[in-house]
Structure 1
Amino acid sequence: MQAEEEQQNLPKLPAVWQLIQGNHYSHRKRKQQDEDDIMVCHCPPPWRGGDGCGPNCINRMLCIECTEDFCPCENQCNNQMFTKKQYAKLAVRRAGPKGFGLYAEEDVAAGQFLIEYIGEVLEEEEYIRRKQYYIQTGQRHYYFMNIGNGEVIDACRKGNHARFINHSCEPNCETQKWMVRGELAIGLYTLRRIKAGEELTFDYNFERYGDKPMRCFCGSKKCRKFIGGTQESTANIVELGDAEDVTNDPEPVMVREEETDAMVQAMLDKEVGTTQRGWDNKLLNRWGGGRLWDGV
């Protein structure tokens, strides 16, 4: 009983996540693409140093990235956005009652690739376990993205800055699924021209977590008042889930991919419910001991 009381009196730790450069597959190895399976476009090599594989590239039209060393345009290929990480200039900032959000730091044209949505690729069993854990622990932010073929990306513990993109009922971005070196990848793309300083959003349109829909703070004139489902499917809902103000939540803590010691791993595992008992006090001591971490 005393141990339980001590556990409840522990101060809340900031959310911890690890910046990674590509998807981590929790239940299998990344696919090794056979040469016979590589889609090769027929784009003519550009003259005088221009860009190849433009809008008329057959691979681009099919949402397939050209594979390095196989594209006829070679190093002038302009259809390797994911592989070459040709991301827009983005920043993470506070976004009022939504917590933190993803913002453009430059003007971005309509239809432009912004960033890949990266995280841990889970099979269905682990996805269900994590979803239940997040519900039981009162998790307010969810980072699931359905990638298809029975797999889901979860950017809660590991991911990149795309994890901070918020929902809007009138979004300025959308997700697109692309085939990249034999694996499905999810990219964020603009739906319209976006000005520097504008928050990036997309329509989550995910299933609800828990018995009540999540309250929406997008502020759009088209706001549905909650996240998940449609107005028709929730016409009889009277009470929305309690909305906790996250405006002053502590800044999430980012650790680099090279941080691999046991304490860092315990901090990350705590986010998804796999930390061994007895680590909480150690984590607090580590946090209060002056170790430098990167914010968001």
Structure 2
Amino acid sequence: MKRAFVFPGQGSQAVGMGKELADAFPAAREVFEEIDDALGQKLTSLMFEGPIEDLTLTENTQPALMGTSVAVARVLESEGNFKLADIADFVAGHSLGEYSALTAVGALSVSDAARLLKARGQAMQQAVPVGEGAMAALLGMDIDPVEELVREATEAGEGVVVAANDNAVGQVVLSGDKDAVARAIELAKEKGVRKAMMLPVSAPFHCPLMQPAADRMAEELAKVTITPPSLPVVANVTASQVSDPETIRKQLVEQVTGRVRWRESVLYMGEQGVEQLVELGTGKVLTQMVRRINKDMNGTAIQGPADIEAFLGSL
């Protein structure tokens, strides 16, 4: 059976994330210690104990989610006595989850990924003053009508608004200037969208307003070594596979302002014969999306020791 490992993005964080893994497995503890050392910060204390207000700060959330996902991957490998590449055909990650995917298959070191994500979180937060940007979820409207909606909202007034995340069938996220996003929400309601709501985020991710953050990440990514991954990575910005290190570097910069093409990424993996998506890390967001995108694909989430045992027993 063809399988892909996938890695969640921002929004899946929770106090206590990774603690069961660290308590049970040396391989997980090694990942968390490496991240703490790389950042010069006890990020693991924040992950295990909170407070949630500090964990939810973008600069903490991003390396924390990566660390938990990579810890699950390392435990799977050590307990199963295999490498991910032995039992899978692709990896992919949602937004920051792409860094988790690249780290899990050896393209980035854990230390470099942690430092990059700390910088990415800071740069994204600083790119747009708090209160000026916004993101909104549209439920019950697919990407083509949303793109038409965005065109109308852009023509009707000032400001940037784009389709930032094409997550699943009938689940698209807008991003941009607060007033422009609000205008798009009103248009969506007029067009009969099932639900349109502002999201509680601190910045308008994956839109042209993030260009200062993209420039910063170009500088940061230029400093690190990227090696060929042991499995092809399905990239957010193209929804197709990539293994060339310099292309990966370029696409990680583009990803900051570009659309997260998650629905297309899952469809692409299905076209390549993938039958099972295995989500590694905190939460089950990607697993819940799978059936809405491809009904023939099976999704499963691995978070803690019991999930790891069950998965290894199924192989």
Please give the TM-score of this superposition, normalised by the length of structure 1.
Answer: 0.24
Choose 1 or 2 for highest CA Rg.
Answer: 1
Point out the structure with the larger helix share: 2
